[in-house]
């Protein structure tokens, strides 16, 4: 059940189960264990965080128990301000943030 839910999340996100395994564990050697629904707790948490789902979802596949993460206070404030803008000003903000992000990459 867990493996099938993880596999579904991978497919939905255009990723392979092998790619996920290598990303999270550094090796694809855990795949046979995963296929037997034998996951370490820390790996389940990493998978849930990666796909923004609850660990419960990985066990059940039930979206009704999906935990919606709470944004940090500063992010909530920024989102609230952004949502108060008209479309033209939202475009300006997005352009500014993209330019700022590009600038910080250099």
Give ranges for CATH 1.10.260 in the chain.
Answer: 2-65
Q: Taking 80 as the threshold, does the pLDDT of residue 63 lie above it?
A: no
pLDDT of residue 104: 84
Identify the band that residue 80 occupies on the pLDDT scale cut at 50, 70 and 90.
confident
pLDDT of residue 25: 93
Whether the predicted model's global pTM rises above the 0.85 cut: no
What is the DSSP track for the chain? -HHHHHHHHHHHTT--HHHHHHHHHSSSTTHHHHHTT---HHHHHHHHHHHT--HHHHHH--GGGPPPPPPPHHHHHHHHHHHTS-HHHHHHHHHHHHHHHHHHH-
pLDDT tens column, 7-34: 999 999 999 999 999 999 999 999 999 9
With a pLDDT cut of 70, the percent of the chain lying above it is 92
What CATH number was assigned to the domain covering residues 2-65?
Answer: 1.10.260
């Amino acid at each position: 059940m867990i493996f099938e839910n993880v596999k579904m999340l991978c497919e939905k996100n255009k990723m392979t189960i092998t790619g996920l395994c290598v990303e999270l564990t550094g090796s694809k050697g855990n795949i046979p264990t995963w296929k037997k629904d034998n996951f370490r707790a820390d790996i389940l948490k990493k998978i849930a965080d990666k796909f923004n789902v609850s660990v419960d979802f990985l066990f059940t596949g039930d979206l009704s128990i999906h935990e919606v993460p709470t944004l940090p206070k500063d992010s909530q404030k920024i989102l609230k301000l952004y949502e108060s803008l008209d479309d033209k000003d939202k475009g300006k903000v997005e352009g500014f943030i993209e330019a700022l992000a590009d600038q910080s990459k250099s």
